[in-house]
Amino acid sequence: MKMPELLAPAGSPESLRAAVQAGAGAVYLGWGEFNARRSAKNFSDEEFAQALEYCHLRGVRVFLTLNTLISDRELPRAAETARKACRLGVDSVLVQDWGLFDLLRRMLPDLPLHASTQMSLFTSGGCREMAADGCERVVLARECSREDTEAIVKNCPAEVEIFAHGALCMCYSGQCAMSAVLGGRSGNRGRCAQPCRLPYGINEPAGKRYPLSLKDSCLAAEIPDMAAMGVDCLKLEGRMKRPEYVAVVTDVYARLLEENRGPTREELARLEQAFSRSGFTDWYWQGRHGAGMFGTRPENAPEPKELFAQARALYEKDAARTVDVHFAVTCTAGAPCTLTAADPDGHTVTVTGPVPEAARTRSLTAEELETRLGKTGGTGYRCAGVEATVDEGLSLPASAVNALRREALAALTAARIAPPVRRELPVPPLDTTDCAAAAPEFTVSVTTAAQLSPELLAMKPARIYVPLELLGAFSALPEYHGEWCAILPRVWRDQDEPQLRRALEHAKALGVTGALAGNIGHLPLLRGLDLHVYGDFGLNVFNSRALEYLKKKGLESACVSFELRLAQIRDLHKILPAEAIVYGRLPLMITENCLIENSGHGCRCDRPNFLNDRTGASFPLLPVFGHRTEVQNSLPVWLADRPDYRRLGLAYARLRFTTETPAECVDILRRYQEGAAAPGSFTRGLYERGVE
């Protein structure tokens, strides 16, 4: 049985050495400005090249994280970063952005790409979609259970990687806008300020409760099960953690994988000492949710000095991780001596030394050669055997033997660290299709059936988006002279797909002609239904090439990210008709846990609920498909009095109704049609200030 690869974090050169010496099979690191841990130390140009050599010498793979959303202006730099890394021999690149993914697939067709967890992959269909587009590996959402993971492993041709240990985000990765909207620091851009670690109140003032702060995950006990089901890689989280933490956690998991077993009590204690938040949780893997998953870490938590001192001793000596080398040396009369060095990976090199002289006093022996060739300390190699062929009566200076050994190991190192030959193709031209509109038509999304009032329908928005599960309650649609569209659930699982497919067929029978897809896994679910497919905000469209990619996937329009500034939206090449949310409470999080039920007052999702922060702001909590929770911003975006949003080339401008009454929906749409001022408090969102 093939064991999963162990992938460890390397937030700095020190952490990289710690991970390698502790037994990692691969490391992931940030180089340049485009990675999801931009606050980590990361690597300079020189350090990155050295990291590749250090790891490849020792048989460890290196994955580069380019897993952030990237603007049009940044795309050339991100692509050039990937090109340089490819030339240096990086083993794969992790990507979130659709535009960068498509660009790299076409520019660097031999460079392995991994779909970051930021792509929000949690179904077999979504993972197969990425595999079909050339992804070597998919990194699943942390919320996936054992059953979810097993189904994806069985049904996806790409490799499957899961997070086995470390911090859990409260929101599905790639779908969190809380840090961005509240503070301008985007988690999708590697600048998350971790607002989930702050105190909040559910339907009460914020106090000393932390309803968004999950414990760290620990799946160490599940290693035999994960190996048996065919998981390809276990990822350890922690690029922001110190090298000692990386050494401790990597060492424990490496031993467990080597012996295919669960942890001892002592090993669990070491993991908890290294870092935990009120202990660990494995509930997502078990398919469980609830308040028992949550925990905090005191700011003054003591450092485990003894444990970390042991960890430093492990990696600072730089001697724990070596490569076996077999030598074959030949010393015959009248011919230059030769030394061949071979490693377990199939690399073989041969070097030549001086011609041995006739011995004057003592003859050279095979035992003497074996002793001298075995002195590989400090090189990254361990002599695993010497085969010596020596004629009698010859002499060879010790300095010559040592020089042969050094030369052979240098040649073997060069072979081991040599970058693979990969194709490099020119940057493909961008699709010249221009779908920019002189002014956008209004679209409306609703949350409740009551919001679909006759007055609203009479105002003739171009499209009305209705949650798919809400359409299930309709036996007929109201009269309306526009396009009815179904909003597919942003989060679901494989086992939900038969139900969703039936709901889509029912919606189509009602007269629905379009579907709003906010996840790449929606596309296989929608195929064959003859519905118009439009991209939703969950796809995180951040650049023109993302629009081009989605056009090739069959989408007919796409909602752009609300983390873009108005000027950035204006400058997008409208390869597809583009839409933007111009009104409404922006969705900050979608959580696997039901926050209301976790609060201890039972599930009361059928009434208004709020998350309250320390400033007194209240964030409405809406129930969504699968008994999940969507956190809405405390204030709605308002742009009606900003006519510049109408000059961005948008084809559609969406009004997103969540908590509004039917009368408020009508009033707001009328104000947008008239370009009027807001009726109450509002925000401009990120359209003016943008994000880091």
C-alpha distances (whole Å) from 407 to each of 179, 323, 339, 343, 411 are: 54, 16, 9, 15, 6
Give the per-residue pLDDT at 602.
78
Do 471 and 389 fall within a single domain? no
Give the per-residue pLDDT at 260.
97
Do 67 and 157 fall within a single domain? yes
Give the per-residue pLDDT at 38.
59
**Domain finish residue from 266, 291, 316:** 316
Residue 346's domain spans which residues? 323-417
Q: pLDDT under 70 in the chain at which residues? A: 36-41
Asked whether the beta carbons of 428 and 552 are under 8 A apart, the reply is no
Residue 302 is assigned to a structural domain of this protein: yes
Residue 600 is assigned to a structural domain of this protein: yes
Give the per-residue pLDDT at 391.
93
Helix H, strand E, coil C: the string for 605-633 is CCCCCEEECCCCCEEEEEEECCCEEEEEE
Query: Rounded to whole angstroms, how far apart are CA atoms 118 and 101?
Result: 13
Do 477 and 406 fall within a single domain? no
Q: Which of 55, 47, 23 is nearest to 413 (CA)?
A: 55
Name every residue whose Cβ is closer than 8 Å to that of residue 269 and which is 6 or more positions away in sequence.
none
**Domain finish residue from 316, 342, 364:** 316
**Neighbouring-strand partners of residue 436:** none
Residue 422 is assigned to a structural domain of this protein: no
Query: Rounded to whole angstroms, how far apart are CA atoms 121 and 115?
Result: 8
- Write out the H or E segment, with its range, that includes residue 316: helix 305-316
Residue 175 is assigned to a structural domain of this protein: no
Do 47 and 83 fall within a single domain? yes
- Give 303-343 pLDDT, tens digit per residue: 999 999 999 998 888 888 999 999 999 999 999 999 999 99
Residue 683 is assigned to a structural domain of this protein: no
Do 308 and 332 fall within a single domain? no
Its pTM stands at 0.96
Do 620 and 661 fall within a single domain? yes
Tell me the torsion sign for CA atoms 619, 622, 626, 627: positive
Give the per-residue pLDDT at 40.
60
- Give 547-603 pLDDT, tens digit per residue: 999 999 999 999 999 999 999 999 999 999 999 999 999 999 999 999 999 988 778
Query: Rounded to whole angstroms, how far apart are CA atoms 200 and 209?
Result: 6
Do 489 and 624 fall within a single domain? yes
Give the per-residue pLDDT at 406.
96
Residue 203 is assigned to a structural domain of this protein: no
Number of domains present in the structure of the chain: 3
- Give 49-97 pLDDT, tens digit per residue: 999 999 999 999 999 999 999 999 999 999 999 999 999 999 999 999 9
Do 412 and 515 fall within a single domain? no
Give the per-residue pLDDT at 361.
82
**CATH number of the domain bearing residue 301:** 3.20.20.70
Do 620 and 493 fall within a single domain? yes
- Give 179-208 pLDDT, tens digit per residue: 999 999 999 998 999 999 999 999 999 999
Residue 426, φ and ψ in degrees, nearest 5: -65, 160
Do 271 and 353 fall within a single domain? no
Residue 179 is assigned to a structural domain of this protein: no
Do 353 and 255 fall within a single domain? no
Do 490 and 470 fall within a single domain? yes
Residue 187 is assigned to a structural domain of this protein: no
